[in-house]
Amino acid sequence: MNKPIRRVAIFCLVLVLALMVRVNWVQGVQATAWANNPHNDRNKYDRYAYPRGNIIVGGQAITSSDKVNGLRYKYKRSWVDGPMYAPVTGWSSQSFDASQLEKLEDGILSGNDSRLFFRNTLDMLTGKPKQGGDVVTTINPKAQKAAFEGLGNRKGAAVAIDPRTGAILALVSTPSYDPGSFSGSSDADSKAWTDLNADPNKPMLNRALRETYPPGSTFKLVTAAAAFENGKFQSIDDRTDTPDPYVLPNTKTELKNSSDDEPCENATLKVAMDYSCNTVYGKIGADLGKDKMRAQAEKFGFNNDKLDVPIRPVTSVFPKASDPAGTAMDSIGQHDTRATPLQMAMVAAAIANNGTLMQPYLVQQERSATDVISNHTEHQLGQAVSPATAQKLQQLMESVVQNGTGKKAKIDGATVGGKTGTAQHGQDNAGLPFAWFMSYAKGGDGAQVAVAVVVEDGSQERNEISGGALAAPIAKAVMQAVLNK
């Protein structure tokens, strides 16, 4: 072989070797990265090449896969009672990806999770088509329906939790949307997506998890907890040293109560909670100071940015840098205090559970067509308050329902505790107030539930908006659904 030919042969051999190295690098090292690349459309086509597994509520599938036999997509996702369950399931769209459980549990639902490898291999060997797994939720369908119908056409949200386990029994946000309206890839699906995202009422916002509100007077329970835990008071009948009106620290601004007729001056903690006295709990918060108030709020879950249910909610906030006047307002759920409905349901749940705060969760079980892949293990987030303090807070909440602003939440044959809230917001508090109610109920058979409801626009008249009138009946309906009352 002459020299020029030898050089060409060596050069071609180097090219072949480089090609082999590159192929092995792409197939071996970069395969996962390319497979998971968001621009890899084959993932979308594969997701709808066979039926997805289902999301289960109360033993029944609330999802299905409809055969369309298109050029690229063989199936399209559909939902039962889509708007009611959208805050739980999210969407799964051929054009617009997926969200919430449809996204977070996609490995199970699509059948691509590594834990389904044996099942998929067996199906391939026996000639069966690929099949996704199912995701079993903790949602109670009766409670979900009660919350959804209770909120109706109003903006708002409702969350119900089993205090003993943390299982989320209801998760509702209104107005809602039908995920089936844009699950395909047609022009109509694109228009529905565009219209929903442009809607000023934000139907695709999950208000139960992804929106924070000033919690208003519902937060006074956290302030009462801080007072008991720090030894400021020993009993719910301890009298407070509170003027009416109360002048905010280092200011000339008076903090007033809803009415001059309320017996808030030097009121006991019980009377002050029954009448929701701003002066009493604002002064308690200022006296305790921002650090003790923040420490107590954080024990209930505030300022925790790593909470997953598995959908991650936005962080509920108790501020770190308020001055004494600001702390007084923070302590009655105004100023810079912000909470999701989930967070306030967690507060009610911890109080009902003798101070123990359980990790909220939405997925009870993952399973293949034949086997259980995983079962949820209950997890304690922490001890929000001592059992002794929790019992005092229960006494305060039960008194509110029996004697105070929460009478519309009474349920025959059940022990019910609650707290109303009417939260001001907007520039100079010019916006219509938010109506809150948080509560718990315990049945004679041992069943328990903790609930938080917020209504954004329950009335066009400010003086007609109150948590007791608007939110409490919704919470009552949810509690009755869980207790079968």
Is the CB of residue 166 less than 8 Å from the CB of residue 174?
no
- Residue 187's Cβ-count burial label (10 Å; 0-12, 13-18, 19+) is exposed
3-state secondary structure of 143: helix
Of 281, 260, 285, 282, the closest CA to residue 271 belongs to 281
Q: Counting every residue, how long is the chain? A: 485
3-state secondary structure of 77: strand
Residue type, 96: F
Rounded CA separation 242/84 (Å): 46
Q: What are phi and psi of 44, to 5 degrees?
A: -65, -45
Buried b (16+ CB within 10 A) or exposed e, 108-126: bbbbbbeebeebbeebeee
Of 482, 475, 479, the closest CA to residue 150 belongs to 475
DSSP letter for each residue of 327-365:
HHHHTTT-TT-BB-HHHHHHHHHHHHTTTEEEPPBSEEE
Residue in this structure with the two tokens 């695709």, named with its chain if needed: 204
Q: What are phi and psi of 158, to 5 degrees?
A: -145, 140
DSSP state of 469: I
Of 157, 166, 184, the closest CA to residue 84 belongs to 157
Residue in this structure with the two tokens 């999950």, named with its chain if needed: 206
Active site (catalytic) residues: 217
Q: How far apart are the first and last CA of the chain?
A: 96
Q: What is the side-by-side order of every strand in the sheet holding 434-443?
A: 168-174, 156-161, 448-455, 434-443, 414-423
Residue in this structure with the two tokens 């308050």, named with its chain if needed: 385
Strand partners, 452: 159, 438
